[in-house]
Structure 1
Amino acid sequence: MKTSQTSGSFTGTKISRRGSNQRGMRNYNERLMLEKIREHGQLSKADLAKITGLSPQTSTIIANRLIEDGLLCKQNSVKGKVGQPRTPISLDANGAYSFGIKVGRRSVEIFLVDFCYRIIEQKSLRYKFAEPQPIFEWLCKNISEIIARLGEEKSARILGIGLAQPFELENWPELIGAPAGTMDSWKDFDLRNEIFLATQLPTYLLNDASAACLAELSLQLEGTSASFLYVYLGTFIGGGIVFEGKLFEGSTGNAGALASLPLNLFGSPQGQSGQLLEKASFNSLELWAAQHGVGSDILSETSPTVEVEKQVTQWISEAANGIAMAIIAGQAILDMNYVVLDSSLPRHLKERVASSTEATLAQYDQRGISRPVLTLGTLGNNARALGAALLPFRANFSADEAAFAIS
């Protein structure tokens, strides 16, 4: 892999290591306790013992240790009808921090997230085409500045960096209007490793659509055992898969690669088979806007011209047709409970896409399969960077063994 010569451009506050506190890999019982408190919001030590199955003595020892480490904090005591007042324990928002980075074909974003998964800072940059070196330098500059603002004490609690990035960024340049060769430098540029070398923070990589799927699972559907197909509609369409409440990445980390689904059978009368991303991605709408002198914010217009509305309606119809086909194919293989559709689109357009997809689904022959419920995702444009930010938290605190494999 190519090694950048600009790693020295990172000038953030030096991050001190703190022995075997929250920076270490917590043991299973500690992880389980943190997970249950995150799930319930706050619990007393007695409640923790009941829910985790640990003895009251063990539960108290672990809770006290986590409080001492700054990961948990006591809330005001609550008087019950009988017995001693109970003292709820909750996560300490300042107990740990994580960076989440989303690199896309049109923009890059960076989030700083606290232990309660709240966004503390966020920065973004739009561009015509994704070129690795400028993106890397922008990231180094902003990580450095955010760490400086965070201060030495809090920055010592940064667990690491999660990176959500499309695989094969160098491919399909013609579909985003990039000049020949513009994207080729991605072939030999290991952005995850460059970020690690520059910051010396553990850096985890996940496909961007899978990261968005992870965010939806973790922030909205935590504790469920459902199986679902996740569809994310962005510059290119992407997807993720959840089996029985756990993210499934596949052997190469690219499970749910809906963009690459063929549109036709090879050798069919329709001609050469294209891929789903050609119809169900809004890069085609962006290119149309550029060719017709329409502003790049075409998708955010609430009162578009007749010409723009006609084009948007046509695009929604084509995208919905492709998404419906992907759902039917996915259901035939996965037998899911439901499908989650999310997007960086404004909500009114996302709802139109969902409605059109439902209508198209009804036209398919569904004998032999059960039709999954289609529901809208809730995180929108934040989903991918938030999902990335969850990776260091999962590596350090999740009781799910599968979390250790996401790296």
Structure 2
Amino acid sequence: MTIHKHHSNFFEDFRIGQVIRHATPRTVTDGDSATYMALTGSRFASHSADSVAQGIGYAGRPLDDLLVFNIAFGKTVPEISLNAVANLGYAELRFLSPVFAGDTLSCESVVIGLKENSNRRTGVVYVRSTCHNGDGIVVLTWVRWVMVYKRKAEAEVAESHVPELASATPLDDLVIPARVHTKEALEAWCEATGSRRLWEEYAPGDRIDHPLGMTIEEADHMSATRLYQNNSRPHFDELQMRSSPVGRRLVYGGHVISICRALAYDGLENVLSILSIDGGTHVAPCVAGDTLYAYSEVLDRRTATSRSDVGVLRLRLVGLKNTPPIEVPALKVEGKTRGSNYHPAVVLDLDYSVAVPRNHFNGTRHA
């Protein structure tokens, strides 16, 4: 009897310029959207009601931006990160077209960088991934870098290159599909969200401590990762993870982002959509039983190109583990010289941009 094993790619299998077309296209459904809300508690209005979405120019409810990202990310795992030590970061992520129930998503990746680590047992792989819908329209593109095991430590690695990545997405490259062109549309939107805090009322330097926390249940984080068809072993294989430094299954980092963003609804109720993610770091792992909290910082406030109805906020979303925001005065600990200088409660540091309606009509009131 011949036994066939699928080992996926190890570090020495990757080549710069290599194109990987990922298997298993996925037709997304209303069921996926409802399940995502059940697992994260997300309440953003444009993903919750057809009538609200139609009021800002959509044909119907688009899927949550991060649900789309997590499904697209899951497509790339079998070839890119099944043999990963850790997913290290994200950059240049742009949401280019809304995704609706019935759309079929497929992905491909291009290897844009490789760097072997000094221990020779692992290396960092940089890939640019693209997600298309069934009509061939690009809905999402992003760069991530991941530390991957080598099959053999002594294997030679011929190529080494660390790509230069943009620190921020230019305004002209942001796609804002939502429209709030009339006073009536703005009033209806604010009534639906329960908030009248618009773009003008945020300023660089503002910090928003989101009041709620969410405890991660074992069944919930595993169900979420299965929803995304992410088959990475650290999230499922308890037997394998017993010998890891943590000693148990880890919560998928994209699910941590989704929960923290759902918690950020309180204080950012009028976000229309996510436009880009300019940087992201999973600072520390999470496991079932951890309680996540979050706070946001306003990094920048920009006017959208040729748009008076919508503005852009660049935000930092900080995820915290088992510590409410009031107990974390700053993201990093000043003067720390050894190891990470992040506050010990920080698990996520995400730099992203969102669209928010502007107060461009006379007589619009604010609470």
Band of TM-score, shorter chain: under 0.3
TM-score by length of 2: 0.24
The structure with the largest strand share of the pair is: 2
The structure with the largest helix share of the pair is: 1
Highest Rg: 1 or 2?
A: 1
